[in-house]
Structure 1
Amino acid sequence: MPTHNTFFKFRTPFDLSPHRYDIGRVFLSNRKLEDNFFLLKVYEIDGSEYEPFYSYQLEHNLKANPGKEEAFFNHVHDIVTNRIRHFKRQDPFSAKFAAGLEQTRKLEAFLAVLKTKDRWHKSEPLESVIGEKDRLIEEQQQRISELEAQLKQARELDANEKIVIANGYFGTFMDLLSQLQNLTVGDKRLATSQGQSPWYKMVAKYFAHGGEAISKETARNYFPATKGDKPSKYINIAEKDKLFQITSREKK
């Protein structure tokens, strides 16, 4: 259990100019009543100061108790909620009840600030926390189902094996693809794409050279994005590899 005066920062006795957010009396304070002094400061300051007041006391606490922010939050939350319950249990016809109305209002305003600091769901009903987690789980399950459907659709086009290009004739094959890109039918290209990635990705995915896979980077080096923008490792097809010429029957 924490010892007294481990949660909040008291003013130094006889200090007539303490920090505004220090708690306690000018003279000696009974530090066993630190929770009461903390709440007295909440009653004293304006609601606009609740956030900096909490942060000031939290900073002091963490210097003595590093990594214990949740414990500090829980302690403050408990003393505030318990005091609200105390005031609300008062006889509504007693003088104490009337006096506690303003204090209750301030405590509830301070509690609203605490909720903005709550990373541990302390201030939320258990049903609300469970409901939020159930909602997130449902969203994740729906997303998983969507991804599984997309994966299944993508795999429908996967082949059980690759088309093997004869060993030593990879350049010849790539020359044929280059020619295919330039073929026209009337005033249109026979096969066209916005960029070159469909071509080199197709080669890497569906073809093999001899018994070896073809990397995407290797295939890409045969396909410049534009004729004037060739990659640094661009591969020019050697004349000896240009074994075939695709021509139109109409031109024969």
Structure 2
Amino acid sequence: MSVIYFKPHDRFDFANDTLDIGNPLQWDRSHFLKHFFKRVFAIREDQIDEFYQRHLAYYLSQHTDGTEEIFYKYFWSLIERQLKVLLGKDVYDQNHLRNEREILRLQKITAMLITHDRWNIHKSNDAVIAQQESEILALKQEVTKLKADLRKATAFKTEGYINIPEGYRNAVLHLHLQMQELKTPEGKELMFSQTQSVWMKMICKYFREGDKEINYETIRRYFPSDKRDPGDKHADIPAKSKLFTINPAKKRS
């Protein structure tokens, strides 16, 4: 029984941070494993090694013929078995979030136990399989998340584009540059972006000139990152391409 390996909770000890197993009052020792894992999932992460050392010391004090290897094997088997149970649960289980927290805790305990394993017990087939199953589960969850993110990212994806007649690309660029200067009646920028690359990417993605893609590097010179100091590589839209002017509408009475 587990009770011979782990220190039971002393009666009438009501300390909240105890590492011992069970309740401070009368409780059924046949349910020791349930109390064991309740304590395992309740202790702080920085108490994991202390938890192992406390119960190892208790076991050795109670069994003159006992060894750390015997205690370690039993401790490891409990953690390994419960980890396999949790990893086998469906991701749609109603207790999925709690299962995930408990899996993470058992994995941290497993990592701690490996540091104490002088007998290579953790390299048994079951342990390797449990670790692989844990990694596979994590990868599956990551794939599920990435698929969901991809669906969101492509929800508004379109194969179509806005076509500009050949030779009129700069006229459209001029319109976009003007739109950046528009202000609301309150004096706020009507359209604001942190960088000019947003405008250039939008144009290259959704516009074509004569059904041909617009080159990002080609239009970059018209969108300086710093309008106050555009630099030597900046170029103004040629006067012949400034075909349209955006002006505020007259206020209606």
- TM-score norm. by structure 1 comes to 0.49
